[in-house]
Every structure is written in structure tokens, then in C-alpha cells.
Amino acid sequence: MTHRTPSRAPIHRRALAAAILSVAALPALAADAGLKLNDQEYFHRTGLDVLVFNNYYDGLFSDSKHAGVELIHHGVRTATNGDVRLSPTPEQWDPVALMVERKVDAATGTVTTRLGYPQEKFEYDIRVTPQGEGVRIQVVLDKPLPASLQGRAGFNMEFLPSAYFSKSWAMDARNGQFPLYPSGPSSRAADGKTVRLPIATGNRLTLAPEDPQRRVTIESRSGALGLYDGRNQAQNGWFVVRTLLPAGKTGPVLDWTLTGNTVPGWTRSTVIGHSQVGYHPTQRKVAVLENDRNAAAPGPAKLLRIDADGSEHVALAADTRHWGQYLRYEYYTFDFSDVRTPGMYVIEAAGQRTHAFRIAKDVFANAWHPTSDVFLPVQMDHMFVNEAYRVWHGRPHMDDARQVAPNREHFDLFAQGPDLDSPFQPGEHIPGLNYGGWFDAGDFDIRTQTHYATVASLVDTWEQFRPTRDETTIDQKRKHVEIHVPDGVPDLLQQIEHGTLALIAQHRVFGHAIPGIVEPDLGQYTHLGDAASKTDGKVDDPSDPDSPNDDRLAFTSNTTALNYGSAAALAAASRALRGYNDALADECLATARKVWEFEQSREPNLFRVGNTTGGHPDDEQLHAAVQLLLSTGDDAYADALRALWPKIEPRFGFNAGMVVKALPKMDAAFAAQVRERAVRMRKELAPMTRENPYGVLITRGGWAGNGAVVGMATTNYHLHKAFPDLFDIEPTLQGLNYLYGTHPDSNISFVSAVGARSKQVAYGMNRADFSFIAGGVVPGVLVLKPDFPENKEDWPFFWGQNEYVINLGASYIFLVHAAQDLLGALPPQER
């Protein structure tokens, strides 16, 4: 029988209450008729926000599609990059202006941003003021446009394609539909270059006139508008509205009015944050409701148990509790921790019903399987990877690699200094690098710093929990992988071996670790699809004029941080590989010891570029000391750890997990120091985890924070195991809940194919297909300044929100096992 709790309020009372709320809202609606500059320094009215350089190109990967003039329209960021650009459909790596200053005049409600292209000796102001139900956007010049920019510089506004798929546009008397697939016009210039042409031109453009939540009108009083499809240029392009800047003029040379329609009384739907996977019976279970500030409180919530025959039973009904404000929303909580009966459940609140989730002792038992079974195999470089009828990729990069030239700066954060630290000449083929390793992320480079973190994390899982799952055939001799085909060897052990082979190859060839191996040019770097088709698989022949010169480049700097980090992973791998591949285990440990002795005997090489030359040198040295201590028991490494403590202690939050691993090998005095520091760390963490309703640290920056969430949850696990009287298990479980859907913006699981509703549009090698790789973990919620949390599920090309990386996948596998261990739920073979 279905059990429901009926409302006790008579219909006439509910109708009266609705009428009172409606009348009460009228003054607010009237006062919100136009956009106003708020105290967060953006223009706001209910249903529309206009940000003006609240966010700026972060400099890390050039154009990240969150800069300039931007629109948040009915809760969705639909437009960005309102700025002067030098192409109608710029690509990620095309030039962007540098910000000089940003001024906010609260009295006039004006935001003026000074920007410039120094190489062109060109500066300009972008001035934005409220006008009616929108804003007036002006580009103001002190001097006429330089001759070099005439016909090139224009004001662009980019609109998110997925927000306008299947919708129409109207330009003056013309109209059309936004194409689902790129189909904008192009032509060939006299010099042979491709020219992108507008879909339509005119003076007044309306986007989505039929959709009141997406309708935007732009009027130009200073030149024709052009509507372009930027996806012809690159799959991550957007629809672009553009007006060329005129030559020979100063003052306001561009004058637009941009109006965004708003739906009266609109409020954003409440998000019921909960774990899409479910909960162990004994763990704390709290749903977090993210509510529009202008909406009514969500009121009571119900937890319903669903039986096999579809009948429903109210397991708990209670009022939601107001938590408070975080970013731009109000938050409420629904605690159902006391419900422990195993079964399938849904939450009903705020007129919504969640997907079904489990309460069960084995709820996390399979949650790591897609990452181990699919994601890691798909990312394997130098291997043919097959899954039943699907070939994920052929055998790539068998022509690895060429020596990079000195003083070479790469666009993906690699760079070579004046010294090669290599016996090979620039352009020369380097034998011995064409096996092992994983694709670092959604691209195809071998990034050493990520690799040794991944190997170390996999070793942690192997040593702590010993998962013997075997679902994959990995044949290193044939360089062949078959997904879902067991071969009698634990998959985790084979993945440790595969990553270790790439690390040890560097030491065999160069005698040290190197930053990595990466594509030589943007044409290859932006390659999507099968990695095996990026190169011809044949070693380049410099003497052959027809040789394609398509082999990847090896960046070979001999940095101290990379050496220590690599040595740490090799020392750890030597323990895991013992008994499986003893020869490799011996070589790993001998190499790690040799690297340690080398670095201890020289002045540190602190050459740093981007994020490819190793982490903090003290942290990396600590990792090496601990892993070598665990592998050898040699007191010299314990002495090194004690000597490092004054440097490590201030950075304890980054290193606590590694430090406590060494405690069984250290003396009581050192253990006392660590405990004292752990006490202080507990106090330091408390305010960080209280600043939001999710109980985790949500970082802000160009890359979203799931890595930090997993890192803190894992660190808490290690600290709890070492000091159970100081650290509770909840922060570890909260980190997993966050990944699974208890987070801002949505309740989607950030682990593809894990949970009832998971990430299905992500930034992997297959991102152009708007698809996913099972088990990949995305970076998650990106907080755009000042207060907008975002994770796009309908647009994969935001790498800072949606790009899989191998080390996060490995860390996630560990976290799932850690959570089960804390809950006493590990399968028997993993206890």
C-alpha cells in the first residue's frame, strides 16, 4: 500500500496565502524594473545579471570563456567574452587584451574597464551603464584605431551554443535558426586563408524571440552587427555577435544596447543536493537545498522508501532547516541520518522528487569500478585499447619522441630553459620513450608530475586495501588492452606497472626525470578522437623533406622537484611490484636511491615553468624521504625527515597524509611533534569547512575544486587513522558525498557513470561528441567571481569544470576504499 502524508491546509487557506505572497512580491518587481549596479559590482535585476570584467582571462590557458562582459540569464551563464577581439571567431590561443584597470562608479552605476593590446600599441575603454531593461555598452578610444588593426579589431559578444540550440534568431527583417551542428558560411581569401563570414548582418538582432528566458536583443548605433558561428573555427567556439571598430575615429566608436528579457516573478528551481550513489546506514545523511533568495523557503521535506512493487512509505517527514547564505543562494538542510533501514529512497521537497538512491552497507562497493575498469584503461598511452565492439584508440605515439630545442616555450605550460640536460640534439629522436604512461587529461601529453602522483596514489590503494579486481587484459608485450576481459592479474597492479614504465623510462634514457612529452604544435594539440591518428607512428627523418615532423617533443630539464617526486613514486612502486615484476621493482628502488643521493649532493635546480616542473621542492623531497623510508627502513631517510620538519610544518595541510605514513618508522619525539601540529590543523580547518553548507573547502580559481575536496577528504582519513581522538570520519565521507551530488549548482554526480544521475557531457578526448568516459572524475563546480557557482552539463568544452585528469581518478579510487574502511564496509578480500 502507498503511504502519503496529505496536506492539512484547506484549499481556501492555501489560495489566500498564495495571493498574499503575490501581492507582497509586487513592490519588489516594480523596484526591480531596470538593471542596477549592486554591491557585488555587477548589474542585477531578477532574472538577469550583467557582469563586466568581474572575471578576466586567467593567463593560464588564454581564453577560458569566462571574461569580459557576461550574462547570467535566468540562472544560466549564456554569454561571455564581451571585449575587443582581433577575429570574428577567435580560438582559445588567439590574442586577448590585457587589463589596465577597472573602475566602478556607484553614483552613476557605470563600470569602465581599461584594456589594451601592448604589441599593437592600442588601448581602449569599455564603458557599461544601465539602460532600460538592459545595458549600454560602449568602446571608447583616445586615439584612432592603429592601421594594423583596421578591419581586424571588433567588439565581440559570445553566446553559449547549447543555450540556443533549436532556437531562432531575427536580424532586422531576416530570421533563421541556430544550427545544432556548425554550418556557418566561410570563404577563401586571395592568400589562401579561410575567412569566416556572418550568418546574417544588420542593426538589430534578437536571439531566441520565442523563448522568454533566453530572449536577448542587441541594437547597434555604430555599425552593423554580424552573427557568426564560431564552431566552424573550433569545436569549442560559440555563437558570436560582432561589430567592427571604425577607422579614423575617437570617442565612443561602438555603441550597443543589450537587453535581456526577464520573466516576471521568475525564481530558480531549488536544487536538492544529495548523494546520487546513496549512503551507508550508519553514516550521517544530510541533503542540502540550494534556494533562490527571491523564492519561498522550501518548507518540509520527505524521505520516501520505494519498495520493489513501486509502493512508497514515508520514512521521515520534517521541516528543512535554514542554514544561511552562501554565494548568491540561500541554503536549507534536511537531516535523515536516523533512517538506517536498507532500501531504495527518494527525497521530496520544494515540489521536486530526486532520483532514487540506496541506503545499504555495500553502497560504495562498486563505485570505483568504472574508474578502474574503463577510465584508466582508456587513458593508457602506447597501447591499443578495445572495449567489446568499440576501439577507444589505436596504438599511439610509437614514434616518441624528439628532443626539444633550448629556450623553447610551449603553449601548454611546458618550457625548456637554456640547458637541455640531455645527450640528444634538438630535433633528434630519443629512443626508449614509447611505452607506458597515460594521457594526462582530455589531451594526449605525458605530464610527469601527474604521472608520479597517480602511481603513488594507486600504490596507496594497493597497500592499504589490496583490491584484487580483474576485469581488464593488459598485455605489455603486444601493447594491447581489452576492457571487460580478465587476464588473471589484479588490474590495479597492472596500472601501477604501466605508469611506472613511463617514469623509469626517463631515468633509463636521461638519468633523471623530465617535465614530460607533448605535442609540437597547436594543430596536434587540439586533435580530438583517436590518438593513434595524431602521428604516423614512424620516427621522423630530418634528412627526408617529406617527413611530417609530427613526433611529440620531450622537454628534458633536470629539476630537483621532479626528481624527488619521481623518486618517491618509484620507491612506492617497488613495494607494490614486488612479487609481480621483481626486476622492475629492483630497478625502481635502485633508481630512487640513486636520485636521492644525486639531489642531496648538488645545489637544487629550481627551474620552474607553469605546472610541469614539479610541486614545491620541500614537499617533493618529503615524499621521497617517506617513500624511501617505507621501502628500505634506512635511518638516513628518517633523519632527513626530521631535518625537513621545520620546512614542512608550516605546510602541514599539504603534507599531513604523507607525514603520518612515516610515523610507524619514526621515534616518539617526532610523533609528538606531528600530533601537536595536527591539533592546530584541526582548529585551522574548522572555519574553512563552516563557510559553506557542504562541510568541505570549496576553492576558487580557474580550475574547479574537486581535487582539493578529494585531497582534504583523503588527508582526513590518514589523520583519523593516526589520531582517531582528534579527527572524526565525517570529513572523509563528506568529500565523497560532495562528489556524488551534494554540492552547489546541481546535484549531478561528478564521476561519470557512477550514481543515478552522473556527468554525461565531459571534457575527455571524445568531448566533441558531447559524451563521457565512464569513471572519469571532472573538476566540478567553478565559482566565477563574485558569486556564481557553475558546472555546465550541456557544454563539455570548459576544461576548468569538465576535464578528466588521471591523478584525480586515482585519488578517487583511494577515497572510495577509505570511506568503506571507515564504515567497516570493505569487501572481505580488501580488509
pLDDT at 608 over 80: yes
Alpha-helical (H) ranges within 662-781 are: 668-690, 706-722, 730-739
Q: Report pLDDT for 23.
A: 36
Q: Report pLDDT for 8.
A: 31
Give the count of alpha carbons within 13 A of 813, CB side only.
33
Question: What mean pLDDT, rounded, does the chain reach?
Answer: 94
Q: How many CB atoms lie within 10 A of CB 401?
A: 27
351 with 382, same domain: the answer is: no
Residue 14 domain flag: no
Count up the domains in the chain and report the number.
3
Q: Report pLDDT for 504.
A: 98
Query: How much is the average pLDDT of 107-116?
Result: 97
Residue 455 domain flag: yes
Distance CA 627, CA 190 (A): 62
pLDDT at 14 over 50: no
Range(s) of the domain holding residue 453: 369-830
Q: How many CB atoms lie within 10 A of CB 542?
A: 12
624 with 730, same domain: the answer is: yes
Distance CA 215, CA 224 (A): 20
pLDDT in tens, 557-592: 999 999 999 999 999 999 999 999 999 999 999 999
Owner of C-alpha cell 538506517: 340
pLDDT in tens, 325-384: 999 999 999 999 999 999 999 999 999 999 999 999 999 999 999 999 999 999 999 999
In contact, 555 and 401? CB cutoff 8 Å:
no
pLDDT in tens, 705-763: 999 999 999 999 999 999 999 999 999 999 999 999 999 999 999 999 999 999 999 99
Per DSSP, what are the bridge partners of residue 272? Answer: 289
pLDDT in tens, 271-321: 999 999 999 999 999 999 999 999 999 999 999 999 999 999 999 999 999
Going edge to edge, which strands form the sheet with 36-37? 36-37, 43-45, 48-52, 69-73, 76-85, 154-159, 239-244, 225-229, 200-202
Residue 64 domain flag: yes
330 with 388, same domain: the answer is: no
Residue 26 domain flag: no
Residue 144 domain flag: yes
Which residues are CB-contacts of 655 (< 8 A; sequence separation ≥ 6)?
Answer: 619, 622, 648
Q: Report pLDDT for 60.
A: 63
Domain end, chosen from 359, 394, 424, is at: 359
504 with 626, same domain: the answer is: yes
pLDDT at 470 over 80: yes
pLDDT in tens, 493-532: 999 999 999 999 999 999 999 999 999 998 899 999 899 9
Distance CA 75, CA 66 (A): 16
Tell whether omega for the bond before 401 is within 30 degrees of 0, i.e. cis.
yes
SS3 121: coil
| Rounded to 5°, angle at Cα 722 from 718 and 725 | 110
Distance CA 217, CA 132 (A): 12
Residue 10 domain flag: no
Query: How much is the average pLDDT of 237-262?
Result: 98
Domain end, chosen from 260, 285, 313, is at: 260
Q: Report pLDDT for 827.
A: 82
Q: C-alpha cell of 410?
A: 610551449
Owner of C-alpha cell 611533534: 673
Distance CA 607, CA 614 (A): 10
Helix axes 668-690, 652-661, angle to 10 degrees: 140
213 with 313, same domain: the answer is: no
333 with 377, same domain: the answer is: no
Distance CA 344, CA 453 (A): 37
Helix axes 582-600, 617-632, angle to 10 degrees: 130
Query: How much is the average pLDDT of 467-472?
Result: 98
Distance CA 449, CA 447 (A): 6
State the virtual CA torsion across 14, 17, 18, 24 in degrees, nearest 10.
Answer: 180
Distance CA 624, CA 616 (A): 13
Q: Report pLDDT for 2.
A: 33
pLDDT in tens, 137-147: 999 999 999 99
Burial class (CB in 10 A: 0-12, 13-18, 19+), 653: middle
Q: Report pLDDT for 59.
A: 62
Q: What kind and span of H or E run contains 799? A: helix 799-802
Which amino acid, one-letter code, is at 548?
A: P
579 with 439, same domain: the answer is: yes
Q: Report pLDDT for 547.
A: 86
Tell whether omega for the bond before 95 is within 30 degrees of 0, i.e. cis.
no
Going edge to edge, which strands form the sheet with 390-393? 390-393, 384-387, 480-483, 472-475
CATH code for position 826: 1.50.10.10
Give the count of alpha carbons within 13 A of 289, CB side only.
31
41 with 142, same domain: the answer is: yes
Q: Report pLDDT for 13.
A: 33
pLDDT at 115 over 80: yes
pLDDT band at 803 (very low <50, low <70, confident <90, very high): very high
227 with 375, same domain: the answer is: no
Residue 218 domain flag: yes
What backbone torsions phi and psi does residue 104 show, to the nearest 5 degrees? Answer: -120, 120
Strands (E), 503-615: 516-518, 553-555
Query: How much is the average pLDDT of 778-788?
Result: 97
344 with 415, same domain: the answer is: no
Query: How much is the average pLDDT of 424-453?
Result: 97
Query: How much is the average pLDDT of 164-185?
Result: 95
784 with 698, same domain: the answer is: yes
Domain end, chosen from 296, 325, 359, is at: 359
Q: Report pLDDT for 701.
A: 85
- Percent of the residues in the chain that have a pLDDT greater than 90, as a whole number: 90
Which residues are CB-contacts of 511 (< 8 A; sequence separation ≥ 6)?
Answer: none
pLDDT in tens, 21-69: 333 333 333 445 699 999 999 999 999 999 999 999 876 667 889 999 9
Going edge to edge, which strands form the sheet with 553-555? 402-403, 553-555, 516-518, 446-447
pLDDT band at 113 (very low <50, low <70, confident <90, very high): very high
CATH code for position 341: 2.60.40.10
Q: Report pLDDT for 245.
A: 98
In contact, 745 and 781? CB cutoff 8 Å:
yes
- Percent of the residues in the chain that have a pLDDT greater than 70, as a whole number: 95
Q: How many CB atoms lie within 10 A of CB 707?
A: 18
pLDDT in tens, 255-285: 999 999 999 999 999 999 999 999 999 999 9
Q: Report pLDDT for 29.
A: 39
Residue 87 domain flag: yes
Q: Report pLDDT for 733.
A: 98
pLDDT at 5 over 80: no
760 with 796, same domain: the answer is: yes
- Between residues 256 and 20, which one has the greater pLDDT? 256
